[in-house]
Chain A
Amino acid sequence: MAERKATPLWEGKIVHAAALDSLRKFDPRIQAKNPVMFVVEVAALAVTLIILRNLAAGVHRQLGFEIQIALWLWFTVGFANFAEAMAEGRGKAQADNLRKTRTETMAKRIGDGGAITMVAATQLRKGDVVMVEAGDVIPGDGEVIEGVAAVNEAAITGESAPVIRESGGDRSAVTGGTTVISDWIKVRITANPGETFLDRMIGLVEGAQRQKTPNEIALSILLAGLTIIFMMVCVSLYPFALYGGTVLTLPVLVALLVCLIPTTIGGLLSAIGIAGMDRLVQHNVLAMSGRAVEAAGDVDTLLLDKTGTITLGNRMAEEFLPVAGVLPQELAEAAQLASLADETPEGRSIVVLAKRAYGLRGRELGGEGAEFIPFSAQTRMSGVDLHGHRIRKGATDAVIKFVEEHGGHAPADLDAMVEKIARSGGTPLVVADNARILGVIHLKDVVKEGIRERFERLRAMGLRTVMITGDNPLTAAAIAEESGVDDFLAEATPETKLRLIREEQAQGKLVAMIGDGTNDAPALAQADVGIAMNAGTQAAREAGNMVDLDSNPTKVMEVVEIGKQLLITRGALTTFSIANDVAKYFAIIPAMFVIGYPDLRALNIMHLATPESAILSAVIFNALIIIALIPLALRGVAYRPLGAAAILTRNLLIYGLGGVIVPFIGIKAIDLIVSALHLA
């Protein structure tokens, strides 16, 4: 997998841009989208105005203290802005990488009469047909309608090996910005400029088109609710204090309010969301919406294609099993002959096995009157006609039919052999020479190393894995058994896949799947998380809500983990933010009432130096913790594939209990510095 390198966290260029950008975000129209930070901004403004009024009126009592409070309140807003700008900056850096591929190119548009005109790529519209020849950059997203070509897609996938793109079939989609390196293709453009797949993605990683995801909305409601509660607490505290003879000043009340409202998570919330997108891009997966990333964390059932995900892509010939009365040598020779012209990996593996096991060297049959019979979906056989020998290899029932047509019949021991192979997870290929069945080639699926452990991890996370395969149920069961997958769908067709997804969803489960072909499109669209392979068809890419640029079918597991990590990070910082408030009360309440109710000094368990320094330290801690947690927000909380109970216990201890304890230490430390510097 060509993983895009993560940008270093504090890369100078990004930090610089983010610092500038965070100033722009002070604009109240931008802040208004985030109720928590908006309250802080209004509070900062209010304190600033009070200071100005006091200056104008010549009141200088506590001026230095109040100016510091105001400054730190502005910093609080600034730090939150910075966190968001950092996340966006990192996204932009990713987007720039993507954008580089979209250099101004000229396209050879084919007119109605077939005449080619040169136009700028930006002028192409959906439905236009262009000619792309070796050396040309493909001018936009589209579908190959004629020809076959090798295409270098390194610009988007980072993978330098060229891929074949051809009309028809499952490899017909091309992406704008990639380069044709041999031959030519005619491409029908499927997206207007600015609406291409890349454009959409760039918009998303830059945060410009970001819409709040459902869980983010729910969390925002919680945060807004808490903010309102704390506003009531602070508003009512003024008359409560007045009753006891204490007149609280606005800067002090505002300081308490800002410390209590969940600024930590409020300031980092959007950064977490953007960073989640960004991590996905680092894995070369482009999501069409933040909603899809969130849904990935909720996935209950994973549909995995057998080939390429669970097994190595190709089946290998393992053994020649002759029927009674046939020598192994004879079978091997026939098998080899039938496979010499077969360029499929299976065919080649038969030739290799024949050579390895029986020393049969590959022969050139070209001029000997040999006629190769290629595999077809109708006959389900391939082979060769040579000197009156009609040698065939293929599916059991197809070969038996072939033999019977020539007046032969299936030997008695064939059934048992075929079944034994199928039951072990292999694929039997029956070999026949005219009316005589010689035996069976055992083609074996090779299960990927480490896949069993991977499924165990997924199971611990609560995910059910279902293997999708075109194999018969017997073979599928054997491979499912060997690989440790939870369930399988054998003899899968687009209809059965779709039905499986619907059944799972009817039980309330969320389903993720990865697919490439046009026939996957309905299932990809139905799945809650549908990941289309970039090498797949345009239809598949349109149907899914994510695209894997590497076309790596195992990617779905990473996508799920990234989704979970995103939600965990949000939960952890919310918990931390709320737990922080306990310490802030112990700092601020005794300081507020030191004159009216000196007995409350007993609550100053941190032994903070002076009331002013206590309040200031709490405000400073509240601001600095946002900066301190930016790396966590951007990188995400480390995710371990454990059961929910284990993860919860761990995170509750770190972010819940830690959230209670850390501010006690932090505020005390800041207080020591503040009083050492005689700031308050």
Chain B
Amino acid sequence: MLANAIIQIGLFIALVTAISVPLGHYMARVFANEKTFLDPLLKPVERLIYRLGGVHPENEQTWVEYAVAMLLFSAAGMLLLYGLERLQGWLPLNPQALGAVAPDLAFNTAASFTTNTNWQAYGGESTMSYLTQMAGLAFHNFVSAAAGIAIAIAMIRGFVRRNAKTIGNFWFDLTRATLWILLPICVVMALALVWQGVPDNFAPYVRAKTIEGAVQTIAEGPVASQEIIKELGTNGGGFFNANSAHPYENPTPLTNLIEMLAIFAIGAGLTHTFGKMVGDPRQGWALYGVMTILFLMGVAVCTWSEQRGNPMLARAGANEVASAMQSGGNMEGKEVRFGIVDSALFATVTTDTSCGAVNSMHDSYTPLGGLIPLLNMQIGEIIFGGVGSGLYGMLVMAVLAVFIAGLMVGRTPEYLGKKIEGREMKLAMLFILIFPLVILIPASLAVVLPAGLAGISNPGPHGFSQILYAYTSASANNGSAFAGLNANTPFYNVTLALVMLCGRFLMKIPALALAGSLAAKKSVPESAGTFPTNGAIFVILLIGVILIVAALTFFPADALGPIVEQLAMRHGHLY
């Protein structure tokens, strides 16, 4: 089993590395407006979009203008989606004649897709029309991801530029991210999914007679085209309720691999974009190294814990021993076609990033195995992370790490030649503060208010884990759930929607302000006295700071959820 895990995980990370370098360099070219092979095809489209939108991409924006553009764009998109959900009953492409989505659920879903969270308090096939899925949800899958990439690029420009007032043009970055990066990859990869058996049609659901004679309704629709952007844009909102565990979303081990690669691709690639744009590829590799090590640590613990299984299931007679015929371990809530490793790997990948697609039910993991997805999100979705948000989140942590430890070299801390001073620290701390604020405070309301307690399906620490997981997932814009929680209630729909909005935009604003502040600074040349941020010491330091900040913030809460569950399980208690 160990060999199986090592081969699969090793192959996966090797492929991620192989994809990320050329993709990263390609993205650097795209945002530097350099020539790419897609230009003949896309340049006319780009010009058309600018003309229609009245955009002058050469007019660079200050961070405030950039942030305002981003916020207006997101607000408009959110309103449109809300309207679409409410009106879908009167609109075309609705063969199942699905009615209007309830206001609180519509609000929740609009917030969810605008923030790249894709928290789904609904079942797709039973709630959303094809039009809503395609024109509403899939549209946001593209543009919310593109907005994330845009802000990462703006942040990189902050490091690169000197004495500059502007950090780029939001409309330019948004358009380029969509046209040059997301769309072409999606077109190619969607075809690969179709080849593997993922449907892509506008047909009504099929009613089939099963072998036993029962009638089954088989949902389908434009799945493949939605599926790939779900992963590539780290969105995670499934076409079907069962998400990537559904055989039409993720039929084979190969599609499973493709989907996982798509989740990591852009986040990993952006580290190299960063290295290339700052003119020192090793700076990008250092961040890539930090992310890879944190990823491997998580997936190792999760796989180990799941493979080890649940002693109480074993006692009840379940055979948890791995063999040629079965993967063994804790298979509750997992698909047989994926087994332990591909499930644990997928769970880690989807929570390292802000994707939140699932191919197994995290709720059914062993407590320790389920702690890893939770912890991944509590770290702040910076292990490759959400497209764009992973990189700018990691850069904020790097600023923090450099500040704390950088003083120890005897200089005012500096990162990539930029001095980290009061203003940068203020913005970085604001960014870091908002995250626990929007997790811990709403969660502490939910665990005492009857409306919150009503949603949990298991009492005791596991119920607590469900609530903690929900707010962590919403705040981190992940969207995966400990599925046991019944979150489609006005209380959860509204509080989670607000948490998603805060977790996205209240963090993006300080990130952009930080970019603006850095861009305005002069750059200090590197010397032997400069703290090197492209080597092993920095990698270790950054990992340490990330883990300690997350642990210090969330240890007490986790202790009352998954940790106590794990300890209790060993003593024969299960919640």
Contact B443–A236 (Cβ < 8 Å): yes
Contact B527–A652 (Cβ < 8 Å): no
Contact B551–A578 (Cβ < 8 Å): no
Q: Which residues of A contact B527 (CB under 8 A)?
A: 300, 462-464
> Of A214, A568, A603, A651, which one neighbours B422 at CB under 8 angstroms?
A214
Report the Cα distance A225→B426, complex, angstroms.
8
Question: Given A461-B528, A644-B529, are A214 and B421 also a contact pair (CB < 8 Å)?
Answer: yes
> Of B429, B528, B537, B573, which one neighbours A599 at CB under 8 angstroms?
B573
B382-412 contacts to A (CB < 8 Å): 400, 403-412
A542-587 contacts to B (CB < 8 Å): 563-565, 567-568, 570-572, 574-575, 578-579, 581-582, 585
B463-488 contacts to A (CB < 8 Å): 463-464
Report the Cα distance A568→B406, complex, angstroms.
8
Q: Which residues of B contact A568 (CB under 8 A)?
A: 407-410
Contact A240–B444 (Cβ < 8 Å): yes
A216-238 contacts to B (CB < 8 Å): 217-219, 221-222, 224-225, 228-230, 232-233, 235-238
A624 interface residue per 8 A CB criterion? no
Contact B530–A240 (Cβ < 8 Å): no
Q: Which residues of B contact A655 (CB under 8 A)?
A: 408
Binds B, one of A1-9, A241-249, A373-381, A412-420: A241-249
A423 interface residue per 8 A CB criterion? no
Report the Cα distance A43→B25, complex, angstroms.
53
A59 interface residue per 8 A CB criterion? no
B557 interface residue per 8 A CB criterion? yes
A643 interface residue per 8 A CB criterion? yes
A313 interface residue per 8 A CB criterion? no
B553 interface residue per 8 A CB criterion? yes
A621-650 contacts to B (CB < 8 Å): 639, 643-645, 647-649
Report the Cα distance A260→B443, complex, angstroms.
21
B185 interface residue per 8 A CB criterion? no
Report the Cα distance A567→B424, complex, angstroms.
18
B420-456 contacts to A (CB < 8 Å): 420-422, 424-426, 429-430, 432-433, 436-437, 440-441, 443-445, 447-448
B559 interface residue per 8 A CB criterion? yes
A66 interface residue per 8 A CB criterion? no
Question: Given A235-B444, A655-B408, are A244 and B552 also a contact pair (CB < 8 Å)?
Answer: no
B527-574 contacts to A (CB < 8 Å): 527-532, 535, 537, 540-541, 544, 548, 551-553, 555-557, 559-560, 563-564, 567-568, 571, 573
Contact B410–A240 (Cβ < 8 Å): no
Contact B556–A571 (Cβ < 8 Å): no
Report the Cα distance A239→B432, complex, angstroms.
23
Tell me the minimal C-beta distance from B135 to chain A in angstroms.
Answer: 40
Contact A656–B405 (Cβ < 8 Å): yes
Q: Which partner residue on chain A sits nearest B453 by CB separation?
A: A243
Q: Say whether chain B's binding surface is mostly helix, strand, loop, or mixed.
A: helix
Report the Cα distance A233→B551, complex, angstroms.
11
Contact B552–A230 (Cβ < 8 Å): yes
Q: Say whether chain A's binding surface is mostly helix, strand, loop, or mixed.
A: helix
Q: Which residues of B contact A570 (CB under 8 A)?
A: 407
Binds A, one of B295-303, B498-506, B517-525: B517-525
A344 interface residue per 8 A CB criterion? no
Contact B524–A300 (Cβ < 8 Å): yes
> Of B412, B433, B447, B559, which one neighbours A603 at CB under 8 angstroms?
B559
Chain A window 499-531, contacts with chain B (Cβ cutoff 8 Å), 1 for yes, 0 for no: 000000001110000000000000000000000
Q: Which residues of A contact B529 (CB under 8 A)?
A: 300, 461-463, 643-644
Contact A644–B429 (Cβ < 8 Å): no
B267 interface residue per 8 A CB criterion? no
Q: Which partner residue on chain B sits nearest A597 by CB separation?
A: B564
B461 interface residue per 8 A CB criterion? yes
Contact B436–A233 (Cβ < 8 Å): yes
A459 interface residue per 8 A CB criterion? yes
Question: Given A462-B527, A600-B563, are A221 and B448 also a contact pair (CB < 8 Å)?
Answer: no
Contact A244–B464 (Cβ < 8 Å): yes
Report the Cα distance A572→B400, complex, angstroms.
15
Interface residues on A, range: 35 or more
Q: Which partner residue on chain B sits nearest A589 by CB separation?
A: B559
Q: Which partner residue on chain B sits nearest A230 by CB separation?
A: B552
A602 interface residue per 8 A CB criterion? yes
Q: Which residues of B contact A652 (CB under 8 A)?
A: 405, 408, 537, 540-541
Chain A window 455-473, contacts with chain B (Cβ cutoff 8 Å), 1 for yes, 0 for no: 0000111111000000000
Q: Which residues of B contact A574 (CB under 8 A)?
A: 404, 407
A206 interface residue per 8 A CB criterion? no
Report the Cα distance A305→B429, complex, angstroms.
44
Q: Which residues of A contact B535 (CB under 8 A)?
A: 645
A141 interface residue per 8 A CB criterion? no
Q: Which residues of B contact A581 (CB under 8 A)?
A: 548, 552
Contact A600–B564 (Cβ < 8 Å): yes
Contact B433–A567 (Cβ < 8 Å): no
A664 interface residue per 8 A CB criterion? no
A297 interface residue per 8 A CB criterion? yes
Report the Cα distance A224→B422, complex, angstroms.
12
Report the Cα distance A470→B95, complex, angstroms.
91
Tell me the minimal C-beta distance from B348 to chain A in angstroms.
Answer: 24
Contact B425–A567 (Cβ < 8 Å): no
Report the Cα distance A224→B432, complex, angstroms.
12
A54 interface residue per 8 A CB criterion? no
Contact B407–A589 (Cβ < 8 Å): no
Q: Which residues of B contact A219 (CB under 8 A)?
A: 403, 407, 425
Contact B553–A229 (Cβ < 8 Å): yes
Tell me the minimal C-beta distance from B249 to chain A in angstroms.
Answer: 35
Tell me the minimal C-beta distance from B570 to chain A in angstroms.
Answer: 8
> Of B421, B425, B463, B528, which one neighbours A462 at CB under 8 angstroms?
B528
Q: Which residues of A contact B406 (CB under 8 A)?
A: 571
Max count, chain A CB within 10 A of own CB: residue among B424, B463, B531: B531
> Of A237, A575, A649, which one neighbours B556 at CB under 8 angstroms?
A237
Contact B403–A222 (Cβ < 8 Å): yes
Contact B548–A582 (Cβ < 8 Å): yes
Q: Which partner residue on chain B sits nearest A240 by CB separation?
A: B560
Report the Cα distance A564→B556, complex, angstroms.
37
Question: Given A260-B552, A647-B409, A648-B409, are A232 and B445 also a contact pair (CB < 8 Å)?
Answer: no
Task: Give the 4 A-B residue pairs with the shortest CB-CB distance, closest first.
Answer: A462-B529, A571-B407, A564-B410, A225-B429
| Chain B residues with a Cβ under 8 A of chain A | 162, 400, 403-412, 417, 420-422, 424-426, 429-430, 432-433, 436-437, 440-441, 443-445, 447-448, 460-461, 463-464, 522-525, 527-532, 535, 537, 540-541, 544, 548, 551-553, 555-557, 559-560, 563-564, 567-568, 571, 573
| Chain A residues with a Cβ under 8 A of chain B | 214-215, 217-219, 221-222, 224-225, 228-230, 232-233, 235-244, 256, 260, 294, 297-298, 300, 459-464, 507-509, 563-565, 567-568, 570-572, 574-575, 578-579, 581-582, 585, 589, 593, 597, 599-600, 602-603, 639, 643-645, 647-649, 651-652, 655-656
- Could you show 21 A-B contacts with beta carbons less than 8 Å apart? A218-B424, A219-B407, A229-B432, A232-B441, A240-B557, A241-B560, A244-B464, A461-B529, A462-B411, A464-B527, A567-B412, A571-B408, A572-B407, A575-B404, A585-B551, A599-B573, A600-B559, A602-B567, A645-B531, A647-B409, A648-B537
| Given A581-B548, A600-B567, 9 further pairs, Cβ under 8 A | A233-B553, A235-B441, A242-B448, A298-B412, A300-B525, A600-B559, A644-B410, A648-B408, A652-B537
